[in-house]
Amino acid sequence: MFTAPEAYVESAPAGYFPCKKGLTALVTHAEFRRFAYRNEVWPQEDGVDLSRASWSAARMLRVPTMNFAFAGKARHGFRAQVYVLVDGEGQVLDKLVTCSTAPVYNDALLALIDGFRFEPSRYKGRGLHSVMPVDFEN
């Protein structure tokens, strides 16, 4: 069973979700929490064992060849961070650009994510919905 902590979205700090230096923040803390809330990404079961022996972290299995031609002249020095939700099988369910040097190209950037393959986090061998940051740099 997955449940959100009480007042999860309402208790979000004011301001934008943090970005690496040189990137423009595109979502607030509350917007990011709504993304997580909508996708129910936290395990809150009774008796959850949080030891490292029980968990394995999510990771990317395959990254296709990246072509930033969609960004035109902005492709030189193009950087962005995308958070990706994958299901227990590693399929992409949702994605959100949180930071970018050229926000006008967010839709094209999100289309690239569909070619990625992911391994979800696992709890006692069971695949879980996982949110992963994916950084892009050209």
- Domain harbouring 66, CATH code: 3.30.2420.10
> Residue 98's pLDDT is what?
94
* pLDDT for 44 beyond 50: no
Helix extents (H) in the chain:
29-39, 106-113
> Residue 1's pLDDT is what?
42
Question: What is the rounded CA–CA span in Å between residue 15 and residue 21?
Answer: 16
In a domain, 111, yes or no: yes
Question: What is the rounded CA–CA span in Å between residue 107 and residue 80?
Answer: 12
Question: What is the rounded CA–CA span in Å between residue 77 and residue 79?
Answer: 6
In a domain, 90, yes or no: yes
Which residue reads 């803390």 in tokens? Answer: 29
In a domain, 9, yes or no: no
Segment 67-88 shows an average pLDDT of 78
In a domain, 12, yes or no: no
Total number of domains constituting the chain: 1
Query: How far from the centroid of its chain's Cα atoms is residue 39's Cα?
Result: 11
* pLDDT for 110 beyond 50: yes
